[in-house]
Amino acid sequence: MKHPISIPSIAPFLVTSVLLLGEVPGTLAQGAPNLLVNGSFETAGEPGLAGWLQANPDLISLVSPGAPGEGDWALRLNADWIPPTGFVTQRIEGLRDGDIIELRAEVKAVGQYGGGQILLFVGDSLRGKQTKSAWSSSDTWTTLSVVDTLELADGDSVWVRLSALGVEVPVGEPAGLFDSASLTVLGTVPVVPATWGALKARYTGVRRGFED
């Protein structure tokens, strides 16, 4: 959560910011759970898309086999155009401002122009601001991962999107396969509300310390 403030000199702000960060170290989560619902696209060996919203069902299917060691099924997203409509999305509940999150998925390209992309969005709807993304056009299973520190305003949510790559001419039904998708909280950076009064008081104490 950003807190714009007006400061007459950049030097006090830089000194104060460093001290603030140094005094409030983040915490790391151990054994954090997967916050994505149905990241393997199957339940008890049966394929399904429970938990996911489909942009264009005509371009979305479930295929077998999945990634090695990850189950029997994978999500297939066919490419259509730019921007692509072959994607699924999911809203993530329970995240807070300052959370450090990691989105991961196994991705494999199908066809000459195939591939897949993982994306994070933040906002009050699935049309929010894109914050991080990663993509692959490899025809072997590849682990994609992005890490982001959340800056959430009131009413914001985090949205995960798995998408085919956009292509101008989708020759040969290019697609992306996805499996073992996960979103976990790696840790938390404490959010300290910044006010001019608080920063001024802190800078005054720092300056006195230097003078002593």
Range of the domain at 153: 33-191
Structural domain includes residue 106:
yes
What confidence tens digit (pLDDT) does each residue in 83-111 have?
999 999 999 988 999 999 999 999 999 99
Structural domain includes residue 131:
yes
Q: How many CA atoms lie within 13 A of 152 on its CB side?
A: 27
Residue-level length of the chain: 212
Structural domain includes residue 205:
no
Structural domain includes residue 166:
yes
Is residue 145 within 8 A of residue 134, CB to CB? The reply is yes
More confident residue, 211 or 184: 184
- 139, two tokens: 């025809």
Give the N- to C-terminal CA distance of the chain in Å, as an integer.
35
Structural domain includes residue 27:
no
Within 10 angstroms of residue 31's Cβ, the number of other Cβ atoms is 5
Total domain count, the chain: 1
Strands 175-188 and 74-78: antiparallel
Structural domain includes residue 66:
yes
Quote the pLDDT of residue 93. Answer: 87
pLDDT averaged over every residue in the chain:
82
Structural domain includes residue 198:
no
Where residue 181 sits, what CATH number does that domain have?
Answer: 2.60.120.260
CA distances from 62 to 25, 76, 78, 177 (A): 43, 6, 11, 9
More confident residue, 4 or 62: 62
Structural domain includes residue 147:
yes
More confident residue, 129 or 36: 36
Average pLDDT over residues 39-45: 93
Average pLDDT over residues 67-87: 93
In angstroms and rounded to an integer, the radius of gyration of the C-alpha atoms of the chain is 22
